[in-house]
């Protein structure tokens, strides 16, 4: 217990930036109520576990987190929420877990925990939450408790794409967007504290479709925050057009880093995945980005070993990645998820998938190094965030990691990189 008699609460988050944002919203509620809070796995009286289920491995790590918590404090009370519990709540019904809910109502969960110790009592927080319904409305929040130098701002949730390999639409629900008024309220609250905002969502490119708005329209709104660096989360290729890119140009400190989701560089695999573009459309978007931002970092995700992927198709994917010249690739093996279309397909042999993963990872390293070499000798505006082994570590607008002895946390400094160091550059 803390000095004021309230328990210490730790929130442990797995998965995406949207999950981290949801956790920050819960932390804000706990902190405002007077609780001592922590963002991660350290000793606490209460733990809120915000889980992930994007892959089988992520779901496994979510389960294992309960065991890790019990080792830290065998007497802890554990509250579970998020995608993994939405997918299968029974896997978390074990010793120490006092409450389980899904992806919706996370701020409501935080308020229930507060009410157990302040005010109304805790009957609402005992046992397993039986409702796992997902709202059709964007779940707003009362504020954010941010322990990082970059401020994530969630503007959208859910997804309507229903890619054949993905559980997210079933776990997060339909796409729903945050109101402009709510976004502006949050930005007005952080504009004098943050140096950079990261605009994020489960399917960010779909922002506004349910409100008669668009991501381009939101970018036009963000242009008023001239002192903030503005970075975008993962994008779908269909959002890239002249109007969108012109809107980014009107943002004074826009960060030219485009994480443009690919998943495969073979057209037949894209069809099998139910992705709504082909490589020609994707490459057209790449060329358009480079027309506006010649030095832009274009990064992506690629799944290797999809059930329908042949060796020739994999080679096509490798060749297309080379053609684009990505600054980085998040390459990961296909994970079969029960409940999806692809989950009913026979998977490829593990040794085949592992071999393709190794080859794609080798290509990733080659392309990363090519991009880093182009940045050497170019003055960069670096926002420093953390320290590691005597270096300050931060990122350039195009998301190149920079190590320097002359940094200061939460300050932007001009650095001219001289060589590659670890996974980035140094002066």
Token output for 398:
């195009």
> What gap in Å lies between CA 156 and CA 138, rounded to an integer?
7
Q: How many domains does the chain have?
A: 3
Is residue 212 situated within a structural domain?
Answer: yes
The tens digit of pLDDT for each residue in 220-236 reads: 999 999 999 999 999 99
Q: Which of 319, 336, 364 is the last residue of a domain?
A: 364
Co-location of 192 and 306 in the same domain? yes
The tens digit of pLDDT for each residue in 169-193 reads: 999 999 999 999 999 999 998 888 8
> What gap in Å lies between CA 89 and CA 112, rounded to an integer?
19
Averaged pLDDT score across all residues of the chain: 93
Co-location of 347 and 284 in the same domain? yes
Residue labelled with tokens 């995945």: 273
Residue labelled with tokens 């070499």: 373
Confidence of residue 143 (pLDDT cuts 50, 70, 90): confident
The tens digit of pLDDT for each residue in 328-372 reads: 999 999 999 999 999 999 999 999 999 999 999 999 999 999 999
Co-location of 350 and 386 in the same domain? no
Co-location of 196 and 332 in the same domain? yes
Higher-pLDDT residue of 130 and 232 is 232
Co-location of 216 and 342 in the same domain? yes
Token output for 197:
């905002």
> What gap in Å lies between CA 92 and CA 98, rounded to an integer?
10
Residue labelled with tokens 């080679």: 315
Q: Is pLDDT above 70 for 120?
A: no
Name residues whose C-beta falls within 8 Å of residue 421's C-beta, 6 or more positions apart in sequence.
Answer: 403
Is residue 131 situated within a structural domain?
Answer: no
Give the chain's length: 427
Q: Is pLDDT above 60 for 8?
A: yes
Note down the domain range covering 159.
150-364
> What gap in Å lies between CA 280 and CA 259, rounded to an integer?
18
Co-location of 77 and 167 in the same domain? no
Is residue 373 situated within a structural domain?
Answer: no
Is residue 391 situated within a structural domain?
Answer: yes
What integer is the mean pLDDT of 303-314? 98
CATH classification of the domain holding 306: 3.80.30.20
> What gap in Å lies between CA 227 and CA 205, rounded to an integer?
24
Q: What pTM was estimated for this model as a whole? A: 0.93
Strand partners, 10: 38, 47
Co-location of 112 and 252 in the same domain? no
Residue whose C-alpha is closest to residue 234's, from 299, 284, 311, 323: 299
Residue 215 · residue 208 · CB < 8 Å: yes
Q: Is 410 exposed, middle or buried (0-12, 13-18, 19+ CB in 10 A)?
A: middle
């Amino acid at each position: 217990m803390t000095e004021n008699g309230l328990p210490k609460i730790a929130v442990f988050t797995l998965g995406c930036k949207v999950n981290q944002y949801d956790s920050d919203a819960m932390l804000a509620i706990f902190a405002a109520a007077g609780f001592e809070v922590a963002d991660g796995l350290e000793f606490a009286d209460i733990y809120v576990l915000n889980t992930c289920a994007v892959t089988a491995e992520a779901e496994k790590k979510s389960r294992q987190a309960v065991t890790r918590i019990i080792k830290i404090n065998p007497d802890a009370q554990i509250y579970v929420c998020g995608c993994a519990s939405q997918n299968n709540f029974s896997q978390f019904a074990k010793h120490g877990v006092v409450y389980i809910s899904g992806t919706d109502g996370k701020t409501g969960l935080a308020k229930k925990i507060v009410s157990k110790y302040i005010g109304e009592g805790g009957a609402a927080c005992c046992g397993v939450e039986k409702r796992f319904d997902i709202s059709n409305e964007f779940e707003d929040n009362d504020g954010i408790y941010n322990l990082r130098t970059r401020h994530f701002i969630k503007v959208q949730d859910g997804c309507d794409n229903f890619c054949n390999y993905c559980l997210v639409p079933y776990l997060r629900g339909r796409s729903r967007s945050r109101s402009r008024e709510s976004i502006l309220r949050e930005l007005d609250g952080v504009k004098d504290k943050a140096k950079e905002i990261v605009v994020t969502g489960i399917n960010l490119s779909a922002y506004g479709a349910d409100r008669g708005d668009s991501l381009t329209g939101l970018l036009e709104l963000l242009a008023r925050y001239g002192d903030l660096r503005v970075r975008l989360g993962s994008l779908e290729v269909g959002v890239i057009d002249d109007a969108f890119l012109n809107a980014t140009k009107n943002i004074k400190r826009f960060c030219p880093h485009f994480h443009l989701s690919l998943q495969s560089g073979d057209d037949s695999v894209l069809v099998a995945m139910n992705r709504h573009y082909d490589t020609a459309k994707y490459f057209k978007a790449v060329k358009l980005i480079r027309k506006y931002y010649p030095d832009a970092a274009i990064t992506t995700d690629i799944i290797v070993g999809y059930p329908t992927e042949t060796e020739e198709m994999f080679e096509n994917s490798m060749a297309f990645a080379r053609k684009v010249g990505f600054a980085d690739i998040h390459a990961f093996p296909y994970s079969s998820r029960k409940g999806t279309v692809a989950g009913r397909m026979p998977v490829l042999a593990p040794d085949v998938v592992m071999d393709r993963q190794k080859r794609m990872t080798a290509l990733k390293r080659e392309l990363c190094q090519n991009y880093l070499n182009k940045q050497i000798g170019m003055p960069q505006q670096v926002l420093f965030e953390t320290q590691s082994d005597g270096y300050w570590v931060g990122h350039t607008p195009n998301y190149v990691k920079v190590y320097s002895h002359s940094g200061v946390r939460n300050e932007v400094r001009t650095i001219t990189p001289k060589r590659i160091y670890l996974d980035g550059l140094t002066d």
